[in-house]
C-alpha cells in the first residue's frame, strides 16, 4: 500500500511535446500520434481516426439493452475537438464509423447536422468497414474501400501480406503494462515501423489485447505500443507487456 509520488521526471530521449503527442516514422512518412487516439500527418494536413462506431448505444437499445444514448455525441465532441486542434484539410475515417446500416434512422437530428457540417468543411473519406460497408450518402463525404496516399496505405482491416506503410483499425488494440506488481490496461497504437494499427475512437468500444494471436500474427516480431494515458501517450516495447486474453466486464 505504498503510493509513490515521485517528482515528474524529465524525459530524456523520448520525443513528446506538451500536448502529449509522440512523433514517429512509418515508411518514410513522419506522423504524429495524438493522445485522443487520432493520427495526424502534418505534411499532408491529414487527420486519421478509426472505429468511431457511431450509434452503437442505440443499436444495443434496439435489442433491449438500454445503453446511454450519448455515445455518438461524445465521440463527435472529441472528434470536433481534435479537428479544431490540428486543422486538417483531409479527414480519413478508417472504417466501422457507423455501428450498423440502421444508424441514420436512429441518429438524432443534432448528430446528423454535426456530421454533415464536418464532412462539408473537409475532404472527408469514409473507408468501408465490416460494420459499415456502405455508409449512407446522407452523412456526406465519399466512401472508398481503401486508399493509397504517397508511401501510406489506408484500409480498415490489416492484410497479413501487406507491404510497408499500412495503416489500419478494426481490432481496437488494447494493452496491459506491468507496473511493479500492478498493471494498467488501456487502448494503444501498435507499430513495428512497418505497419500501424490504430486504437478505436468511439465512445463505447471495447478492445482486443495486443498479445492475442489475431494481432500477434500481424506483428510477429518486435513492436512497440503508444499507450493512451490520461493526458499523454506512453511508449513501451512489446517486452514490457503482460499477456491478457481475458477482460473484465
Partner 1 sequence: MTTPARSLPRDRASGSLPDKVTQWFARKGWRPHQHQLQMVEAARQGRSALLIAPTGGGKTLGGFLGSLIELVETPARGLHTLYISPLKALAVDVHRNLLEPLSEMGLEIMAETRTGDTPQSKRQRQRKSPPNILLTTPESLALLLSYADAGKMFRSLRCVVIDELHAMAPNKRGELLSLGLSRLAALAPEARRVGLSATVAYPDEMEAFLSKTGRAGGGDVTRIEGGGAVEAKARILIGGDRLPWSGHMGTYAVNEIYAAIRAHGTTLVFVNTRAQAELVFQALWRINEDNLEIALHHGSLAAEQRRKVEAVMSKGGLRAVVATSSLDLGIDWAAVDLVVQVGAPKGSSRLLQRIGRANHRLDVPSKALLVPANRFEVLECQAALSALRAGQLDGDAPNPGGLDVLAQHILGTACSAPFHPDALYREVVRAAPYRDLTREEFDSVLEFVATGGYALRAYDRFNRLERFADGTLAVASPAVARSYRMNVGTIVEAVTLKVRMKRGRFLGEIEEYFVQGLIPGDTFIFSGQLLRYEGLRETVVEVSPGQGEDPQVPAYAGGRLPLTTHLADGVRALLEADELWPTLPAPVEEWLRVQQWRSVLPKRDRLLVEIFPRGERYYMVAYCFEGRNAHQTLGMLLTKRMERAGLDPLGFVATDYVIAVWSLQPARDIETLFDQDMLGDDLEAWMAESSLLKRTFRNVAVIAGLIERKLPGHEKTGRQVTFNADLIYDVLRKHEPDHILLRATRADAARGLTDIRRLGELLVRVQGKIDVRILDRVSPLAVPVLLEIGRESVHGGALTTLLEEAESDLIAEAMGGDMQGALPL
Residues 157-176 that bind partner 1 (CB under 8 A): 171-172, 176
Within 13 Å of residue 42, how many CA atoms lie on the same side as its CB?
11
Cα dihedral 85, 103, 204, 143 in deg (nearest 10):
-50
* Closest by Cα among 190, 188, 198, 189 to 96: 198
Does 150 bind partner 1 (CB under 8 A)? Our answer is no
Our CB check for partner 1 shows the closer of 98 and 124 to be 98
Our CB check for partner 1 shows the closer of 84 and 249 to be 249
Candidates 207, 210, 218, 225; binder of partner 1 (CB under 8 A) is 207
Candidates 40, 54, 154, 204; binder of partner 1 (CB under 8 A) is 204
Residues 35 to 74 in contact with partner 1, rule: CB under 8 A = 56, 58, 60-71, 73-74
Our CB check for partner 1 shows the closer of 67 and 112 to be 67
φ, ψ of residue 67 to 5 degrees: the values are -60, 155
Residues 85 to 144 in contact with partner 1, rule: CB under 8 A = 106, 108
Buried b (16+ CB within 10 A) or exposed e, 98-130: bbbeebbebbeeebbebbeebbeebebbbbbbe
Candidates 15, 145, 151, 163; binder of partner 1 (CB under 8 A) is 15
φ, ψ of residue 168 to 5 degrees: the values are -140, 175
* Closest by Cα among 196, 174, 184, 188 to 233: 188
Our CB check for partner 1 shows the closer of 56 and 86 to be 56
Contact range with partner 1 by CB under 8 A, out of 85-93, 117-125, 148-156, 180-188: 180-188
Distance from CA of residue 41 to its chain's centroid? 14
Can you list the positions of beta strands (E) in 88-141?
A: 90-93, 123-127
Q: How far is the CB of 217 from partner 1 (least distance, A)?
A: 11
Q: How far is the CB of 122 from partner 1 (least distance, A)?
A: 25
CB distance 173 to 201 below 8 Å: no
Q: How far is the CB of 62 from partner 1 (least distance, A)?
A: 5
Q: How far is the CB of 183 from partner 1 (least distance, A)?
A: 5
Does 32 bind partner 1 (CB under 8 A)? Our answer is no
Binding mask 223-242 for partner 1 (x = CB under 8 A): -x--x-xxx--xxxx-xx-x
CB distance 24 to 31 below 8 Å: yes
Our CB check for partner 1 shows the closer of 125 and 190 to be 190
Element (H, E) at 235: strand 233-237
Query: How many residues belong to the site for partner 1 (CB under 8 A)?
Result: 78
Amino acid at each position: 500500500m505504498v503510493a509513490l509520488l515521485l517528482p515528474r521526471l524529465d524525459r530524456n530521449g523520448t520525443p513528446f511535446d506538451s500536448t502529449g503527442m509522440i512523433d514517429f516514422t512509418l515508411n518514410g512518412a513522419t506522423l504524429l500520434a495524438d493522445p485522443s487516439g487520432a493520427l495526424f500527418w502534418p505534411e499532408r494536413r491529414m487527420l486519421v481516426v478509426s472505429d468511431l462506431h457511431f450509434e452503437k448505444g442505440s443499436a444495443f437499445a434496439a435489442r433491449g439493452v438500454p445503453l446511454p444514448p450519448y455515445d455518438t455525441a461524445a465521440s463527435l465532441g472529441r472528434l470536433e475537438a481534435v479537428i479544431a486542434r490540428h486543422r486538417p484539410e483531409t479527414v480519413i475515417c478508417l472504417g466501422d464509423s457507423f455501428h450498423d446500416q440502421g444508424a441514420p434512422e436512429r441518429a438524432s437530428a443534432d448528430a446528423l447536422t454535426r456530421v454533415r457540417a464536418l464532412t462539408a468543411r473537409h475532404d472527408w473519406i469514409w473507408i468501408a468497414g465490416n460494420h459499415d460497408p456502405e455508409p449512407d450518402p446522407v452523412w456526406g463525404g465519399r466512401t472508398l474501400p481503401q486508399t493509397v496516399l504517397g508511401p501510406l496505405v489506408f484500409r480498415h482491416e490489416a492484410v497479413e501480406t501487406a507491404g510497408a506503410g499500412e495503416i489500419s483499425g478494426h481490432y481496437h488494440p488494447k494493452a496491459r503494462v506491468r507496473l511493479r506488481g500492478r498493471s494498467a490496461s488501456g487502448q494503444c497504437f501498435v507499430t513495428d515501423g512497418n505497419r500501424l494499427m490504430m486504437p478505436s475512437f468511439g465512445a463505447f468500444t471495447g478492445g482486443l489485447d495486443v498479445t492475442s494471436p489475431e494481432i500477434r500474427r500481424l506483428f510477429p516480431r518486435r513492436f512497440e505500443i503508444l499507450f493512451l494515458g490520461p493526458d499523454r501517450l506512453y511508449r513501451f516495447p512489446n517486452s514490457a507487456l503482460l499477456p491478457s486474453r481475458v477482460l473484465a466486464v
